Amino acid sequence: MNQQIIISGLGGQGILFLTKLLAQAAMDSGNDVITSETHGMAMRGGTVVSHVKIGSFLSPLIRTGQADMGFFLTAGSFEIHRAFLREGAPAVINTPRTDGPFAIDAAAIAREAGARMATNLVLLGFAVKRDLPFCTVSIMREAIGRLSPSRHRQMNIEGFERGLNYEGGAS
Amino acid sequence: MDCIENRILMGNEAIGRGLVEAGCTLATSYPGTPASEVLESVVAFARETGAPVHTEWSVNEKVAYEVALANSYAGKRSSVAMKQVGLNVASDPFMRSAYLGVVGGLVVVVADDPGPHSSQTEQDSRFFSLFAHIPVFDPSTPAEAKDMVERAFSLSEEYELPVMLRPTTRVCHARQNVICRAPRRLSRKASFEKNPARWVATPRYLTKLHGLLNEKVEAIARDKSFLPTRIAGDGSFARRCIIASGVAYANVHDLLREMGVLGRIDCYKVNLPYPLNRDFIETIDQQYDTVMVFEETYPTIECQLAARGVRGRRTKDVPNCGELTPDIIDEVLRKFLGLSPTAKTEPAAPGVRPTLCPGCPHRAAFFAIRETFPDGIFPSDIGCYTLGMNFGAVDTCHCMGACISQGAGFYHAYSADGGAFPTVVVTIGDSTFFHAGIPALVNAVFSGARIIVVILDNGTTAMTGSQPTPQVGIRADGSRGRRVFIADLVSASGVSFLRRCDPYDMETFRHHLIEADGYIRSNDGGVAVIIAEHPCILDRDSMKNQTFYEMTVEDSCVGCRICINTFECPGLVFDEGTKKAVIADGVCIGCGVCSTACPVGAISADSRSESI
Ligand code: SF4
Ligand code: SF4
């Protein structure tokens, strides 16, 4: 199984955590995985991007036009990093304007659930339910339980479940 | 008991894990992206496995290097980790340690930053290792970086030489499934054998030691176990080959496979770029007409190859600066292999520039400095506060601690012309002050500079992940240490004007700035120091004591955008409909400071008890 995933957003939106979850879930489903992430100055509210490569890759970087899917934590990040996607690859976008096939107002859903910081998990749940990333719901649920710091665990699980159960949008 | 476990580790965690597994008993570091997590991981894995390791955040890389060096003299395995520019600071002990050598293995982890993503240069530490005659490993992936730690220790002990492990950002911050084992227990007792001819090595011994060093390097270069590995071609590309190391190799590998050329052209992977294996140099010279070398960031391997057909960064067949991203390598490879180029896609657009966090105490300090001295000169330094550039309150940023000396230099330049000199306000973070600010302050005081030094003391090394400074009193492993106070150091440096205040209280802070300006211009004036004290807002514990406010922008807002463009807090956004500023819910932390930044007093603050 080979899959290349791009995750883009702003520093502080939980891009790193999504990256870790996907990596853990990849290993738990019996795959090799290598990822790349942004650290340092850019994490102070600047644009950050993670690459996740599942399968027999050595390099942690995805070439332009090669990603099989993408998570975008803001509509602006989609504009910036869409070039990584291969043609027709699904782009899961957090945006108040839910007009694309995989566009979802994840921030609003997270806020409603009282899990404002779990916008990233709503997005993840939404994508996993639609079979976009490689892994199953149960493997991801377990990864979230394992990797969440205890004070955020409940909130993260809540966010993920809300994303799973979201009915809107085409699929 | 050898319990083997597959875990997802970041490159730096894999290196930290490797150090603990190899029986390293002392690990030092100074934080710097992309190297910071190495020491943190040593602490975590030592705790998890119960392995006895002394860990420390030293005040700078030179100190860190010297502490590790002596642990190795005593016969124990030691390591020091830093970012590439940290090696500039540690270069003095580094260079000499090649001549004198070590006893217990010494692994010097130097993380390079091609690009650069978070550094002041994209220098190649492998070049530094060549300069020092110290062998260097160049890992391609986290898993490999971990394996190389043990190889580096054995090489170091076999030849009694320090050995460098040089990961780059893309290895440090990659995550991969990595095999973990139980740590080795070497149980060596400290035993330093006195030998003045070696450990004191006055000039008359050094020519001999230099000769000995050359012999060691020669022997390593002939060691067959460091022959580059090869994926053999099938003859389709006769007398042509590819040589790569580090992440560039990983990219080449994935790209060749994508192109369907993996296994059709000879492709060599170099693990030890210096000293480059002698037989390998000969093979390349004899068996190939054209050779393409991919490496980051300088042509270290390329320069050691003798063959005429060698191409790479030196010949500009590969761009001679910048990171070798898959897109760049793809283009070069296709041209080299005679394949049609990939259809050009528009590259990723430039992103949003970083800014100080909402509620960051530095913002208040910079805003006040800029307002008080519109014609000032503002040397600054390295840390989150370099972002003061966005406020026009940072005019220079050079290398750790340079701001104070540069401030003094500016003063001397202007004062030599006679007449009024501009107010020079230097800003330096607390950790940077400990690192390299103290000698610079002593020098500025003694040489008669008249400048204002603002020490931005937020109680942490925030930029690199909040490592504590000596003033905080918490050591790398969480234990308590004797606190060393910045104010005491400032006084002891001969500074007689010293004020301390919370920059959130902008009125008082401005008042101190004006007072300091008076002092530096007075008859017996000199260096004035103001310590701006407010904890980093990422420090959860300190935040418990902070008062938070419910913020509202009133109708009296005139839409001047000063709070957004000049004060630049992400907690405020402009509503194009009403043409007024509004508080961004969920971004604003309610620090209350913007109420003093608004010129018409349109931002009001109501205290509330809890933080968000
Ligand atoms: S809130 Fe104050 S500073 Fe901000 S735009 Fe309105 S008037 Fe200007
Ligand atoms: S109170 Fe004002 S300065 Fe503080 S975080 Fe909120 S918007 Fe920013």
Which CATH number covers residue A28?
A: 3.40.920.10
Q: Which chain A residues have any C-beta within 8 angstroms of a chain B C-beta?
A: 10-12, 19-20, 23-24, 26-27, 32-47, 49, 57-66, 76-77, 79-81, 83-84, 111, 116
pLDDT in tens, B292-308: 999 999 999 999 997 78
Subunit contact A61:B325, Cβ cutoff 8 A:
yes
Same fold: B5-221 with B361-536: yes
The answer as to whether A171 is a domain residue is: no
Could you tell me what percentage of chain B is helix, strand and coil, using 3-state DSSP and rounding each to the nearest 5?
40, 20, 40
Residue B475 neighbours by CB under 8 Å, 6+ apart:
B55, B56, B57, B468, B481
For domain B5-221, the question of CATH label 3.40.50.970 is answered with yes
Domain range for A52 is 3-164
The answer as to whether A104 is a domain residue is: yes
Q: Which of A33, A44, A60 sits opposite B387 (nearest CB)?
A: A44
The answer as to whether A169 is a domain residue is: no
The answer as to whether A170 is a domain residue is: no
Question: What pLDDT does residue A170 have?
Answer: 45
B117 touches chain A (CB under 8 A): yes
Instruction: Give the closest-approach CA distance of B184 to chain A in angstroms.
Output: 26
Question: What pLDDT does residue B180 have?
Answer: 96
The number of domains in chain A is 1
CATH class of B548-608: alpha beta
CATH of B224-337, one of 3.40.1710.10, 1.20.144.10, 1.10.1660.10, 3.40.50.920: 3.40.50.920
Nearest chain B alpha carbon to A110: B586
Q: Mean pLDDT lowest for which of A40-49, A118-127, A141-150, B551-560?
A: A40-49
Question: What pLDDT does residue B447 have?
Answer: 97
Which CA distances in Å does B460 have to B463, B465, B468? Answer: 9, 9, 5
Specify whether the CB–CB gap between B526 and B407 falls below 8 A: no
Which CA distances in Å does A53 have to A60, A73, B115? Answer: 7, 19, 21
**Kind of pairing, strands B572-575 and B580-583?**
antiparallel
Question: Quick one: B361-536 is in which CATH superfamily?
Answer: Thiamin diphosphate (ThDP)-binding fold, Pyr/PP domains (3.40.50.970)
Distance CA A14, CA B75 (A): 44
Distance CA B322, CA B172 (A): 17
Question: What pLDDT does residue A41 have?
Answer: 66
The answer as to whether A54 is a domain residue is: yes
Which one, of B36, B187, B59, B177, lies nearest residue B113 by Cα? B36
Nearest chain A alpha carbon to B251: A59
pTM of the model: 0.93
A113 pLDDT tier (thresholds 50, 70, 90): confident
B243 pLDDT tier (thresholds 50, 70, 90): very high
pLDDT in tens, B397-431: 999 999 999 999 999 999 999 989 999 999 999 99
CA of B388 to the centre of ligand 2 (A): 16
